[in-house]
Amino acid sequence: MSKNVPFELEHLQVIFETFVRSYPHYTEEFYYRFLRFVKMSSLSNVDKQSLISVTKIHSLQSQLKPFGLGSKGLNPHKYRSKDWEPMPWILKKGRPVSYPKQVQFRVEKGFGDLLKRGLKPDFHVIEETFRRSSLFFKTRILQLAQDIRMPTKNQNRLSVINLHFATKDELSAFFKYHSQTLNSNNKISFSRLLSNKGLHAEAVAILDSINTNEIPDSSLSVIFVYRIRALFQLRQPQEILQAMEEFPVHDVTISPYLLKQSVQLERKFVNCEDMSECVGRLRGFIGDCKVVLEKDRADLEIRLEQVLQYVDTWIKS
């Protein structure tokens, strides 16, 4: 390939982004290895700086996806007013820090100023504002979503977030009348809300309605964990055994998230007499996860080294 296609910086950027999306749990160590590779490569200093500037990562509050692509801050070219400030997710005494003044600015002025410039706010900015808003500002943001013709999947995402403080009856009604309008990711989020309110049968039902052929491997792990939790609450050991039997642990990419959650499930099972058979099977499943993760890590090290060596040769050709 290198003999026929000239090397471009975009090729390395694509490799970087593909790795971060595919293996977010190895992103931090990969990032520093990638930086060393770029700095030691034969690229010009200008190209090195250009590449480093577009290959950024930021930490996320997520066991499943600890790192994401790009810088965490606001785009200074788009959010250029000095009144725009970031709202990092910080816990203080176990509770997330609120930003009432920043929320008020964004809803009452910031978003409107962007629209006047012909720009739409990025969804992640709207979402983080929505999560920190009072009921009054949440209503304003939901209206904004309609006004700017936000994609349905994103409007549904806000609707699900808005259900975090809903009553059991309200969640039950949403499940009955609106749950099938949600996409796969929103169904997964909604299932967790249902279980948190004791609606475990509904949580299993909505997870079972997801077409698993259309979701990434990481979502398969989340569905597995949420479903097992709900089935445990329903005391359905046979369904749990079947779920473990059917999960393709050797055929999909798993992360330490699945191992950690499975260990936590085991701790719950051992204290329940009617889950004794599930405990033994779950311990076997945990062993399988450990084997797969160790093998994946070793294979990934080899593949990464091969790719970087290939790119190094490509750059020099």
What is the average pLDDT across 102-116? Answer: 97
* pLDDT above 90 as % of the chain: 79
Contact 292, 254 (CB under 8 A): yes
pLDDT at 278 over 70: yes
pLDDT at 61 over 80: no
pLDDT at 2 over 60: no
Q: Report how far residue 153's alpha carbon sits from residue 280's, in angstroms, rounded to the nearest whole number.
A: 40
Q: Report how far residue 28's alpha carbon sits from residue 215's, in angstroms, rounded to the nearest whole number.
A: 24
Cβ-based neighbour number of residue 116 at 10 Å: 8
Ordered by start, the domain boundaries in the chain are 75-150
The conformational region for residue 151 under phi > 0 = left, psi -120 to 50 = alpha, else beta, is beta
pLDDT at 95 over 90: no
pLDDT confidence band for 69 (50 / 70 / 90): confident
Q: What is the pTM of this model?
A: 0.86
Res 58: pLDDT: 84
Q: Report how far residue 149's alpha carbon sits from residue 146's, in angstroms, rounded to the nearest whole number.
A: 5
What is the average pLDDT across 112-134? Answer: 94
- Name the token pair of 166: 């809903």
pLDDT at 166 over 90: yes
Res 254: pLDDT: 93
Q: Report how far residue 209's alpha carbon sits from residue 175's, in angstroms, rounded to the nearest whole number.
A: 12
What is the average pLDDT across 16-35? Answer: 91
pLDDT confidence band for 123 (50 / 70 / 90): very high
Contact 286, 264 (CB under 8 A): no
pLDDT at 225 over 70: yes
Q: Report how far residue 187's alpha carbon sits from residue 209's, in angstroms, rounded to the nearest whole number.
A: 9
What is the average pLDDT across 91-105? Answer: 87
Res 248: pLDDT: 96
Q: Are strands 95-96 and 67-69 parallel, antiparallel or unpaired?
A: unpaired
Q: Report how far residue 33's alpha carbon sits from residue 97's, in angstroms, rounded to the nearest whole number.
A: 33
Contact 226, 195 (CB under 8 A): yes
What is the average pLDDT across 2-29? Answer: 87
Q: What is the DSSP letter of 151?
A: -
Report, in this order, helix, strand and coil percent for the chain, each rounded to 5.
Answer: 70, 5, 30
Phi, psi of 23 (to 5 degrees): -130, 65
Question: Residue 193: which residues within 8 A CB-CB, separation 6 or more?
Answer: 160, 163, 164, 166, 171
Res 224: pLDDT: 98
Contact 160, 145 (CB under 8 A): no
Q: Are strands 57-59 and 95-96 parallel, antiparallel or unpaired?
A: unpaired
pLDDT confidence band for 79 (50 / 70 / 90): very high
177-199 pLDDT tens trace: 999 899 999 999 999 999 999 99
Q: Which helix (H) or strand (E) holds 156?
A: helix 152-161
CB hemisphere CA count around 155 (13 angstroms): 15
pLDDT confidence band for 85 (50 / 70 / 90): very high
pLDDT confidence band for 284 (50 / 70 / 90): very high
Res 3: pLDDT: 57
